[in-house]
Amino acid sequence: MYIKKSVFGKLAGETDIDLYTLVNDHGLKMGIITYGGIVVSLEVPDRNGKLADVALGPGRLEDYAKETTPFFGAIIGRYTNRIAGGRFMLHGQEYRLTVNEPPNHLHGGFRGFNRVVWHAEPFETVDAVGLRLRYLSKDGEEGYPGNLSCTVAYILTNQDALQIAYEAETDRPTPVNLTNHTYFNLAGHDAGPIFDHELTLTAIGYTPFNETGIPTGEILSVKDTPFDFTKPRKIGEGIAALGRGYDHNLAFAKSNNSLSAVARVFEPTSGRVLEVETTEPGVQLYTCNFADCPITGKGGKIYQTYDGLCLEIQHFPDSPNKPHFPSTILEPGERYKQLTVHRFFTQ
C-alpha cells in the first residue's frame, strides 16, 4: 500500500491543485484531486488481472472546472439533486437558494462542493490507505443557512473496497444531502456504451417527477416498470423501454440507516463486478443521457451519451419540500454521517 502526492494543475487565482494517488496491495489504484474532491481515475483488474480505469473524466484540471462539465467524479453538496424553485421553508422561515438549473436548484448551486478546494490529509491504517478531505461551507453560501463543517474520507482497502465516509456539523438548521458523482464503465472508461452492464438494485419504489425533474411526492412500485432491477437486468433494456436514459431516484427496501447491500453491477466482457452498500435510503440512477456530449475524455477518448453509469447514493430529491420523504435536515448539536462502500471483484 502507498499514497503518492503530486501537482495536478493550477487554477487562476487558486493555489496548486494536488493529486493524491492511493494504491492497495493488489494494485487497485485511484486518483483524487483537491478540487471538488474529484475521483479522476479508478483502476480495477478484470478477470485476467488486467487493469483498466473504470471512471470517466476529462483528465485536465481546466476541463473539470468548465461549467459544462457534468460533475465527473466530484463530491456533491450541500444538497445533491434538485430543490424545487430554489427555495424551502425551515422552522417557519423561507430560504432562497441559487437557481442554477432554472427553475430549480441543482447539486449545490453555481459553486457547489464540486467547485471548491478541499483541505487534504492522507492517512494509512493496517489494511487501507485513505484521504480525508475537509471543507467549511460558510453561512449563506449558495443561499444555505449555517456554517457547515464537512469531512469526506476516501478509503481504499486491501479487500478491494472503496469506502466513502461523510460527516458534517452545523451551527444552524440546514438541509444536507451529500454524494459522489463518479461515472462508471466497468469495461473501461473508453469502452463505449454501458448497455450490456447488468444492474441489480434492492429498490422497490421510485419517485415520479414533473417536467422540471421535481418529484411529485409519490413513491410508486417499480414492479412491471423500467425501474424494476430487483433481478439482474441489462441497462440497455431499460433505456429502450424508457425511450431515453435514466435520471431517476429509486427508493431502497430499507427502513433505517444501517449499512445494507443495495446495488450490484456486472460487466460480462471484463468480468468486473461492483457491489454497493450504503446507509442511505435512495439512489439517483443516471446514464449520462443529458450530458453535453460529445465530451473529450482522458487519452482523447470522445465520450458519447450512455458511455457511463452513475449510482448517486442519496436522500431523495426536494426532501426539504416533501415532509413525508426521509428528512435531510441537520440540526446544531447533531452530526450528519453517511457511509457508502464500493466493492470490486470479478466473476
Catalytic residue numbers, as ranges: 181, 312
Interacting residues of 154 by C-beta distance below 8 A, sequence separation 6+:
22, 30, 32, 37, 39, 130, 131, 133, 162, 163, 164
Per-residue cell: 137: 461551507
Per-residue cell: 296: 473529450
H-run or E-run covering 123: strand 119-124
- Count CB-CB contacts under 10 A for residue 332: 11
H-run or E-run covering 272: strand 272-278
User: How does DSSP classify residue 92?
Assistant: T
Burial code (b: 16+ CB inside 10 Å, e: under 16) for 162-200 equals: bbbbbbbbbeebbbbbbbbbbbbbbbbbbbebbebbbbb
User: How does DSSP classify residue 305?
Assistant: T
- Which of 190, 194, 205 shows the shortest CA–CA distance to 287? 194
Q: HEC string of 230-265?
A: CCCEEHHHHHHHHCCCCEEEEEECCCCCCCEEEEEE
